[in-house]
């Protein structure tokens, strides 16, 4: 893990790492659909604010985006 010489708010670190990872994926030829990108961004936001992912996050996302559930399942190849 990279060590900073100054204190940087954790959400800023997560955002920078996520942006760099997305750029690496793009450079490697990986293209994400809008729904995949939305899901990845929500997971990064959750990690930045909570430092962990729990089952309740999935429940909250399903409540907030009930109509996207089937689309996300298809986008990631999971059984819908």
2 in any annotated domain: no
Structure confidence at residue 23 (pLDDT): 97
In-domain check, residue 3 = no
Residue 5 lies in a domain: no
- Expressed as residue numbers, the domain containing 15 is 10-22+31-75
Within-domain flag for 69: yes
Q: Which residues of the chain have pLDDT under 70?
A: 1-4, 51-72, 74, 77-80
Residues 15, 66, 35, 79, CA torsion sign: positive
- Model pLDDT, residue 62: 59
Domains in the chain: how many in total? 1
Instruction: For residue 15, tell me if it sits in a domain.
Output: yes
4 within domain boundaries: no
Q: 42, 61 in Cβ contact below 8 A?
A: yes
């Amino acid at each position: 893990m990279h060590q900073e010489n100054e204190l940087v708010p954790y959400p800023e670190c997560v955002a920078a790492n996520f942006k760099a990872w997305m750029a690496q994926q793009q450079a490697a030829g990986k293209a994400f659909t809008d729904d995949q990108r939305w899901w990845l961004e929500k997971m990064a936001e959750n990690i930045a604010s909570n430092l962990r992912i729990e089952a309740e996050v999935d429940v909250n996302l399903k409540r907030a985006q009930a109509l996207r559930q089937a689309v996300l399942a298809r986008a990631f190849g999971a059984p819908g």
